[in-house]
Amino acid sequence: MADLTTEFLGIKSPNPFWLASAPPTDKEYNVRRAFEAGWGGVVWKTLGAEGPPVVNVNGPRYGAIYGADRRLLGLNNIELITDRPLQTNLDEITRVKKDYPDRAIIVSIMVPCEEEAWKDILPRVEATGADGIELNFGCPHGMAERGMGSAVGQVPEYITMVTEWCKKYYSKPVIVKLTPNITDIRKPAQAAFKGNADAVSLINTINSITSVDLDLLAPQPTIDGKGTHGGYCGPAVKPIALNMVAEIARDPETHGKPISAIGGITTWRDAAEFMVMGAGNVQVCTAAMTYGFKIVQEMISGLSQWMDEKGYASTSEFVGAGVPNVTDWQYLNLNYITKARIDQDACIKCGRCYAACEDTSHQAISMSADRVFEVQDDECVACNLCVDVCPVENCITMIELQPGEIDKRTQKVVQPEYANWTTHPNNPAAQAAE
Amino acid sequence: MGNSQTTPGIVAGRLPADRIQENFDDLHPAYAPHEAAVAADRCYFCHDAPCMTACPTSIDIPLFIRQIATGTPEAAARTILNQNILGGMCARVCPTETLCEEVCVREVAEGKPVEIGRLQRYATDTLMDAGKHPFTRAAPTGKSVAVVGAGPAGLSCAHRLAMLGHDVVIYEARPKAGGLNEFGIAAYKAPNGFATAEVEWLLQIGGITIQEGQALGDQITLSGLKESHDAVFLSIGLSGVNALRAEGEDREGVEDAVSFIAELRQTSDLTTLPVGRNVVVIGGGMTAVDAAVQSKLLGAENVTIAYRRGQEAMGASRYEQDLAAQNGVRLMFNVQPVAVHGNGRAVEIELEYTTDTGSGLTGTGETFRLPADQVFKAIGQTLGDTPEGITLEGRKIAVNDTGRTSLDGVWAGGDCASGGDDLTVTAVAEGRDAAMDIHATLVG
């Protein structure tokens, strides 16, 4: 069994699976049970400033998107930060950290954008013995209207400013949690590191309305006939999060900086993908909220098995290993030519590939009277749509043409060397290869 | 040759070889990866899952199914085998319809459970087909344990003890290990020599020696084993067969169902195995169904199960009853044998209707005869000779929760011991739990 021990910002945890700041980490009772179930660390649900705690709505807080068998694909929420007194949380954090010295405890914080507010809370958080803090600059509902959460995260200058305050009044690692509700994720990440953040974590939830009640004509979740946008999370947001993590990992300004990945991580494979794309560890919420804390056991056994199969002795050996393979479109090899192939033995003759190609792509699949589907190489542009819609795994595959072969679509001989758009003759801005 | 289903008497080759081959093929074919993924996707990952509670070995079923769903069947196999080292065989022979699958929330809600047994087989087959043994032996403890009987309980106990670093000698009366996995159980539930292969795979843990042809009371004695080993685990099964108590039960053609099944399991060419034209099986348990269905699959023209009580009292599950009916076996209830007729060999069986008076079962006096050139007794097995100095509870060896017998240093489990159903999976659990107690005792 591979060793999953992970060191992130000098914080050791027995595995890279942390629970994200959210309802699962709201209180001592949950966090203790999470640790007993095997989670490597938690980011404690966001603390607010001293004073009367926030209040939550008393109607539904969550909305959901389902698959046909009610598999939860996406969840949204309009819950706010902790609604329990600050001192209660601090006392609990102190107790739990004392009892679980080998697990990571990070405290999520969101207080007003004033230096005094941060100066007040940070020493009290430091006194808990927690391993670090995470700045919640991401929450897109409720708190943003009060000038906090994503209202800060959408202004890079604020991020830098608050991060600097935190580094001034707090001695342990500072993680800045980013909102995806922004055009270019690299800017807030750069701003965080400019303020000397130790790491960024992303993504927080995405502004969303999951569904509309067609009787009430109101967004869901509906509270007394009205709804509001909430934060979207769960498996559905993973591709968005994966891209944002990769963008920061490959940005020359932030390349190599620590990232804690969040966004729809449900299985060991999701975690491995984020880590290969540059995340030093991962944070999970919706999977735990859907299936319970026990879900971490599959993540642990799966990641461990994959590492054994690949010969990785430690998670650090593959963190970021795929980042060099993320590039801009213009650098993709235009001489790499493939054609779809249909395995006639595996084909169940549903015709979905034909419908997709004939109606919406390049009319490159033929259909005979007895339902035999075949790829026409002279029309196939290798778009992969047939592969994506085929219900049988590996029935349609993309076969690479070898140099010297003729691409029947263009009638050109496949060239062996790499050539991209920057040097293509059709590119008005093309530069000569020399 | 030239025999057919209607050839009188007990003869071999009633069906052509290819038909027999087909008949004894896997009852439930193995899942292809896509089928396994779709089946696994139906699991809800229930909290404190009812399936897990229903499993005598407490396999973490939601976890192993999720491990299949996430593309790691090898990890799933480890989850299974950690609790049940014979998880491969149990996946094939467990009456899941009365255990895990019966309480699956999807069975309760939709009448269609997650197919836990087949998923378990997919996971364990993946690991075992790769020849991998997922466990390693702890450092040797220098302690030696005798296990008597190489059936499911004995193998389970031996594996756990070996894994914990003890040396184990298994004494087996038969010429081959496996117990009922090898000599009992219908052939179509574990074809292609799976039982034999599983024993070989299990022994990869190391530290286990099997001595065949060693029967307790003959070649070996309990006092001798106690002297030469630090502990003894008895998993001797039930070697006695109940008598029919019907006139003419000694006629040729009247046999024990377990002997017929054992012979069938050890016959490599089933076209050479004789079976009657008219077969009647007396009994209502799994053995009765196994004997009846296999008789039919060998080519018997008429096969009847005659059970003395009503259908609801039958030991074989409804699923097993349906399996018998699908294969053309006739199920008769509330009938008991009174005589086997024939001149030296069985020709007919005389059955009497029964009624439950509330204070017991009695014959109504109304009888009828069925043609029967072969009669199988499947009316339960009993402990053979009681090992010296051992206290019984009812007709089985008395044990506590961890398998301790009345004798110091002697544990027992499986069918020979009190408590639990006589199932492979129960035997595995008892062997495992006794091993843990033996370990605690030896190193404590």
Which two tokens mark A22? 């959210």
Catalytic residue among A139, A347, A380, A395: A139
Other beta carbons less than 10 A from residue B222's beta carbon? 20
Query: Which are the contacts of A305, defined by CB distance < 8 A and separation ≥ 6?
Result: A268, B72, B74, B75
Nearest residue of A to residue B134 by CA position? A1
Distance from CA of A267 to the nearest CA of B (A): 7
In chain A, what residues touch B48 (CB-CB under 8 Å)?
A: none
- This model of the complex carries an ipTM of 0.92
Cβ within 8 Å, pair A268-B47: no
CATH architecture of A6-325: Alpha-Beta Barrel (3.20)
Q: Measured between CB atoms, which of A69, A292, A305 is closest to B72? A: A305
* A and B: number of Cβ contacts within 8 A: 42
User: How far apart, in Å, are the Cα atoms of A75 and each of A69, A208, A232, A295, B416?
Assistant: 16, 10, 6, 17, 54
Q: Measured between CB atoms, which of A291, A295, A301 is closest to B75? A: A301
User: H or E element: which one contains A46?
Assistant: strand A41-47
Q: Which residues of chain B have pLDDT under 70?
A: 1
Cβ within 8 Å, pair B62-A294: yes
Which residues make up the CATH 3.20.20.70 domain(s) of chain A? Answer: 6-325
Return d(Cα B181, Cα B173) in angstroms, integer: 15
Return d(Cα B315, Cα B324) in angstroms, integer: 13
Which residues make up the CATH 3.30.70.20 domain(s) of chain A? Answer: 331-433
Q: Is the pLDDT of residue A83 over 70?
A: yes
Q: What is the pLDDT of residue A431?
A: 66
What is the average pLDDT value for chain A, to the nearest integer?
A: 96
The domain A331-433: what is its CATH number?
3.30.70.20
Q: What is the pLDDT of residue A344?
A: 98
In chain A, what residues touch B74 (CB-CB under 8 Å)?
A: 305
Calculate what percentage of chain B has a pLDDT beyond 70: 100
Cβ within 8 Å, pair A302-B75: yes
Would an 8 Å CB–CB cutoff place B75 in contact with chain A?
yes
| Cα dihedral across residues A186, A189, A191, A193: positive or negative | negative
Task: List beta partners, residue B305.
Answer: B281, B331
Mutate to test the interface with A, among B67, B83, B110, B112 (most CBs of A within 10 A): B67
Determine the 3-state secondary structure of A313 from DSSP: coil
A151 closest CA partner among A213, A72, A207 = A207
Distance from CA of A127 to the nearest CA of B (A): 37
Distance from CA of A374 to the nearest CA of B (A): 23
Encode A203-213: b = buried (16+ Cβ within 10 Å), e = exposed: bbbbbbbbbee
Cβ within 8 Å, pair B72-A268: yes
User: H or E element: which one contains A63?
Assistant: strand A62-66
Q: Are B400 and B394 in contact (CB under 8 A)?
A: no
Would an 8 Å CB–CB cutoff place A287 in contact with chain B?
no
Cβ within 8 Å, pair A305-B63: no
Q: What is the pLDDT of residue A430?
A: 83
- Residue A383 known to be catalytic: no
pLDDT in tens, B151-171: 999 999 999 999 999 999 999
pLDDT in tens, A276-322: 999 999 999 999 999 999 999 999 999 999 999 999 999 999 999 99
Nearest residue of B to residue A69 by CA position? B42
Distance from CA of A294 to the nearest CA of B (A): 8
Nearest residue of A to residue B72 by CA position? A302
Would an 8 Å CB–CB cutoff place B63 in contact with chain A?
yes
Query: Which are the contacts of A257, defined by CB distance < 8 A and separation ≥ 6?
Result: A189, A193, A199, A200, A248
At A86, the pLDDT band (50, 70, 90 cuts) reads very high
Cβ within 8 Å, pair B71-A269: yes
Q: Are B198 and B128 in contact (CB under 8 A)?
A: yes
Q: Is the pLDDT of residue A143 over 90?
A: no
Q: Measured between CB atoms, which of A71, A294, A302 is closest to B70? A: A302
What value does the mean pLDDT take over residues A194-215? 97
Distance from CA of A321 to the nearest CA of B (A): 22
